[in-house]
């Protein structure tokens, strides 16, 4: 009993939150580089504060991040020391195609990831690669408006073909888009969408979503063609929505909010637009333009597994209630839960509920590719960090996941903690919101030695992996 022997324990990062080296290796500028820290960030990531070039006086935390670009050997060695079996990372699109529409890929960028995969191999760590984790070349945004244009499908597929071919010997697990449903909540960061006054934003977001869904299906087909061993997953920001009360109107509100998120994996896993989405989009006057072949593309190229991030459950009510923060979007405050330093609810049982609901819905293998606690860490003079709060959070979530596997029969491939090493927060751009087992000496103002230190949780997770989740 317990977790299967093949269970994939590991950690997850994203290029734009850890790599830095933004101007090195021939890399081009991407939307994620242009999301400033501080007050303007929210506006920018939502597509309302146009940010098309680096501006004086703004701090762009992704430009250096934690400099994984130069530290990857050291970092992967530490992941190996923890016993990782999988490392989830993403590709910076603009390292491979700096503008996005070049004929030939950039060899320096390709070599960078190849070296990472070689390093992983040394420690028997298999890579799980997110093709696009909130990442879009600025050139394509300026020229075509990002994913609002159907042309993006071709550029994206070109990237996919290069990746699938070049890394055939290293990578067999891929995710097409990180948290694809974030297009609705952070459209510039998620899909390179900037809005002008008076535009019908819902129409644009769902049009872009349609393009990504078709691109995801075509990438799935291509991956299977290039290497029949390839397994492709969709990835969405999950977390079941609870009704605030048993009042039917609250239950209804929760169901509809859930469907808004499930729309994406529904299409990717089942292969067609669910009828609730078709009806509601039409009623809202949203008509994404589709080509005659799209139906068949979606139908014939569903994903092999379902992956998702889980930080918290959500709550919905038909009447106005106090709100709580959460992974990029707010929801109703649940009075039964505790909250993190950043006001996110903490709900381990919610993970078991979410796993059950997703598995019931799709009956495909699941993969938890993000789960973790963002908190303030205070190192002692000798750099020791006793992050018992983080251990507590993870322990309870792993316990819940274990119950889902052992007692509920959910088929789960693996678990990658967000994030094994401190990095830049996607939502706030902060460095002080730390998730890692490994502390990085880099402070909010960008200063620090970038040295790495093992936290208490490092040794704890090492034991969890060594015992295959038996000792928590
Ligand atoms: C998800 C993203 C990650 C990560 C995580 C934590 O939305 O996929 O990139 O950052 O959330 O969120 P934050 O960094 O805002 O704490």
* Average pLDDT for the chain: 96
Q: Could you tell me the residue ranges of all domains in the chain?
A: 8-201+213-239+347-466
E strand or H helix that includes residue 121: helix 107-122
Cβ of 253 less than 6 Å from ligand 1: no
What radius of gyration, in Å, describes the C-alpha atoms of the chain? 21
Q: In this model, does residue 330 exceed pLDDT 80?
A: no
278 alpha carbon to ligand 1 midpoint, in Å? 29
Cα dist. 77→49, 74, 116, 125 in Å? Answer: 40, 5, 11, 10
Percentage of residues in the chain with pLDDT exceeding 90? 93
179 lines ligand 1 (CB under 6 A): yes
Report pLDDT digits (tens) over 215-234: 999 999 999 999 999 999 99
Q: Which residues of 261-273 are buried (b: 16+ CB within 10 A; e: fewer)?
A: bbbbbbbbbbbeb
Ligand 1 in contact with 370 (CB < 6 A)?
yes
Question: What are the two backbone dihedrals, phi and then psi, of residue 107, each rounded to the nearest 5 degrees?
Answer: -60, -35
Q: Is the pLDDT of residue 329 over 90?
A: no
* Residue 59 alpha carbon to ligand 1 centre in Å: 19
Nearest CA to ligand 1 atom 5: 426
C-beta 460 within 6 A of ligand 1:
no
Buried b (16+ CB within 10 A) or exposed e, 364-381: bbbbbbbbbbbbebeeee
Integer Cα distance of 136 and 131 in angstroms: 11
Q: What is the DSSP string of 236-258?
A: EE--PEEESSS-HHHHHHHHHHH
Best of 92, 327, 423 for a ligand 1 pocket test (most atoms within 8 Å of beta carbon): 327
**Rounded distance between C-alpha atoms, residue 66 and residue 75, angstroms:** 11
Ligand 1, atom 3: nearest CA belongs to which residue? 426
How many Å apart are CA 254 and CA 316, to the nearest integer?
A: 5
Question: Among 425, 429, 431, 433, which is best to mutate for testing ligand 1, by the most ligand atoms less than 8 A from CB?
Answer: 425
Q: Tell me which of 63-67, 168-172, 320-324, 346-350 is least confident.
A: 320-324
Asked if residues 8 and 368 have their Cβ atoms less than 8 Å apart, the reply is no
Q: How confident is the model at residue 170 (pLDDT cuts 50, 70, 90)?
A: very high
CA of 427 to the centre of ligand 1 (A): 6
- In this structure, what token pair is assigned to residue 92? 């910076």
Closest CA to 130 of 91, 76, 93: 91
pLDDT at 326 over 80: no
Fold classification of 8-201+213-239+347-466 (topology level): TIM Barrel (3.20.20)
Cα–Cα dist 456/388, whole Å:
8
Q: Could you list the active site residues?
A: 179, 370
Contact 180, 234 (CB under 8 A): yes
Closest by CA position to 207, among listed 299, 293, 290? 290
Per-residue pLDDT for 51 more than 80?
no
Give the residue whose CA is nearest to atom 10 of ligand 1. Answer: 426
Nearest residue (by CA) to ligand 1, atom 4, is 426
What is the reported pTM? 0.97
Tokens encoding 400: 């819940």
């Amino acid at each position: 009993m317990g977790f299967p022997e093949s269970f994939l324990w590991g950690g997850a990062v994203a290029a734009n939150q850890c790599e830095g080296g933004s101007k090195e290796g021939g890399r081009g500028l991407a939307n994620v580089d242009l999301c400033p820290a501080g007050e303007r960030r929210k506006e920018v990531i939502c597509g309302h504060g146009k940010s098309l070039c680096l501006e004086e006086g703004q701090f762009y935390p992704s430009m250096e991040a934690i400099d994984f670009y130069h530290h990857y050997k050291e970092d992967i060695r530490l992941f190996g020391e923890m016993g990782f079996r999988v490392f989830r990372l993403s590709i910076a699109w603009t390292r491979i195609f700096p503008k996005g529409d070049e004929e030939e890929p950039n060899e320096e960028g390709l070599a960078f990831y190849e070296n990472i995969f070689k390093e992983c191999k040394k420690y028997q760590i298999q890579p799980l690669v997110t093709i696009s984790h909130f990442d879009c070349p600025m050139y394509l945004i300026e020229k075509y408006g990002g994913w609002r244009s159907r042309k993006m499908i071709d550029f994206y597929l070109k990237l996919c073909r290069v990746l699938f071919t070049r890394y055939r010997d290293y990578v067999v697990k891929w995710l097409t888009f990180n948290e694809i449903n974030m297009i609705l909540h952070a459209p510039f960061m998620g899909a390179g969408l900037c809005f002008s006054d008076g535009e019908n934003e819902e129409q644009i977001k769902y049009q872009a979503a349609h393009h990504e869904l078709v691109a995801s299906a075509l990438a799935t087909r291509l991956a299977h063609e290039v290497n029949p061993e390839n397994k492709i997953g969709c990835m969405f920001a999950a977390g079941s929505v609870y009704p605030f009360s048993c009042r039917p109107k609250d239950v209804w509100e929760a169901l509809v909010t859930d469907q808004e998120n499930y729309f994406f994996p529904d299409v990717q896993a089942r292969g067609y637009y669910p009828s609730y989405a078709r009806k509601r989009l039409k009623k809202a006057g949203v008509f994404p333009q589709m080509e005659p072949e799209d139906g068949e593309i979606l139908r014939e190229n569903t994903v092999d597994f379902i992956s998702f991030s889980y930080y918290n459950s959500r709550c919905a009510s038909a009447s106005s209630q106090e709100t709580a923060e959460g992974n990029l979007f707010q929801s109703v405050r649940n009075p039964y839960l505790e909250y993190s330093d950043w006001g996110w609810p903490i709900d381990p049982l919610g993970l078991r509920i979410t796993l059950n609901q997703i598995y019931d819905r799709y009956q495909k293998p699941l993969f938890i590719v993000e789960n973790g606690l963002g908190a303030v860490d205070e190192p002692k003079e000798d750099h020791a960090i006793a992050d018992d709060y983080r251990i507590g959070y993870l322990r309870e979530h792993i316990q819940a996941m274990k119950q889902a596997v052992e007692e509920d029969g959910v088929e789960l491939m693996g678990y990658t903690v967000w994030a094994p090493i401190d990095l830049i927060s996607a939502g706030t751009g902060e460095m002080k919101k730390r998730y890692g087992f490994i502390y990085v000496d880099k402070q909010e103002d960008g200063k620090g030695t970038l040295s790495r230190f093992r936290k208490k949780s490092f040794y704890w997770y090492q034991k969890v992996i060594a015992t295959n989740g038996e000792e928590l």
